[in-house]
Amino acid sequence: MLSLAALSLRLRASGCQGSRRSIATVISGNETSKLVRDRLKQEVDQMRSQFSGFRPSLVVLQVGDRDDSNLYISTKLKAAAQIGIDAKHVLRSIMSVNENPSVHGLIVQLPLDSVNRIDAELVTNSVNPEKDVDGLSCINAGKLSRGDLNDCFIPCTPNGCMELIRQTGVSVAGKHAVVIGRSKIVGAPMHDLLLWNHATVTTCHSKTPDLPEQVGRADILVVGAGRAEMVRGDWLKEGAVVIDCGINHVSDETKASGKRVVGDVHYSSANQRAGFITPVPGGVGPMTVAMLMENTVTSARRFLLKNQSQR
């Protein structure tokens, strides 16, 4: 189920072009996320026609009222509605949602916004692992980190990165992958995914003393460092696949807002050396929401299968 765009990426990846490539192929998150969402919409339509009255359902639980959270939540609800997922934004207890059989996915919007200190770890781990479509609970992290990929939910950002890597047609097995960052939502699960897709994986972080040398060995590079334009083009291995998870706001007098969004990779130098590169914005960002929808539909599918087998 490859689009023409993906097909042309594959041709480039397999080295079919004759002339020397000087600019990296852009891996579009906008296009790839649309492919995913279209596929999910079809699957949801099929579920709904096969099981009358059934609808995949996602609940977004919010504590407080942060502006940025409100924006992220509305993006998720909109994506869900387009696919046919029944999504609700609620402010009640996790337990009642955990027990509600008509809800298949439950996410807690982070950070928690409260005058009282709330243990985010405790809240995240209160979500029923079978509904934890953000994949952030210990149980899902444990399964992913130990290679039980078919029995867990994979966090949305690294899952989206894998989808983008797949779109290039570059095979992951046997490659040297480098991940910069070890956060719970990006770096650490990204390591796991690349490892269990059989790459040799190096994880770098703030304590890595020789980052340019480590990056220079990467066939596949995923950056989730949270530092604007930190990775320079001349660090890269020629032809590398470069996936940039960074979203950084830097000041820019030429913009009406006085700022613009850049990634963790210095794009204009990196695209001179990389084989494939994700833009920011329009790269990893749209994939994150698409993969949340994917996990919700997966959860609904598992629910249907379980109920069928119990009949």
Residue 134 lies near a second copy (rule: CB under 8 A)? no
197-227 burial by CB neighbour count: b if 16+ within 10 A, else e?
Answer: bebebbbbeeeeeebeebbbebbbbbbbbbe
When asked if residue 192 is in the footprint of a second copy (CB under 8 A), the reply is yes
Number of residues that bind a second copy (CB under 8 A): 35
Name which position in 7, 30, 95, 147 contacts a second copy (CB under 8 A).
147
By CB under 8 A, what part of segment 164-183 binds a second copy? Answer: 173-174, 176, 182
Q: Does 35 bind a second copy (CB under 8 A)?
A: no
Say whether residue 121 binds a second copy (CB under 8 A).
yes
User: How far is residue 261's CA from residue 250's CA, in Å, rounded to a whole number?
Assistant: 6
- Cis before 209? omega within 30: no
Degrees (nearest 5) of the Cα angle 265, 218, 206? 55
Q: Which residues, at least 6 apart from 253, have a Cβ–Cβ distance to it below 8 Å?
A: none
By the rule CB under 8 A, 273 interacts with a second copy: no
* Helix spans in the chain (H): 4-13, 29-50, 67-83, 94-99, 120-124, 138-145, 156-168, 187-196, 211-215, 267-270, 284-310
Should residue 145 be labelled a site residue for a second copy when binding is judged by CB under 8 A?
A: yes
Contact assessment for residue 245 and residue 204, using Cβ atoms and an 8 Å cutoff: no
Is 184 a known active-site residue?
A: no
Q: Kindly tell me which of 125 and 272 has the beta carbon lying closer to a second copy.
A: 125
Query: Can residue 188 be called a binding residue for a second copy (CB under 8 A)?
Result: yes
Stretch that binds a second copy, among 1-9, 146-154, 273-281, 297-305 (CB under 8 A): 146-154
Residue 200 touching a second copy (CB under 8 A): yes
Tell me whether residue 192 or residue 294 sits nearer to a second copy (CB atom): 192
Question: Does 143 engage in binding with a second copy (CB under 8 A)?
Answer: yes
140 binds a second copy (CB under 8 A): yes
Residues with Cβ within 8 Å of residue 63, at least 6 apart in sequence? 91, 108, 109, 112, 113, 114, 118
Single-letter amino acid code for the residue at 111: P
Catalytic residue among 34, 41, 76, 259: 76
Smallest distance from the beta carbon of 117 to a second copy, in angstroms?
Answer: 17
Binding site residues, a second copy, CB under 8 A: 121, 137-148, 173-174, 176, 182, 184, 188, 191-192, 195, 198-205, 207-210, 214
Q: Which are the catalytic amino acids?
A: 76
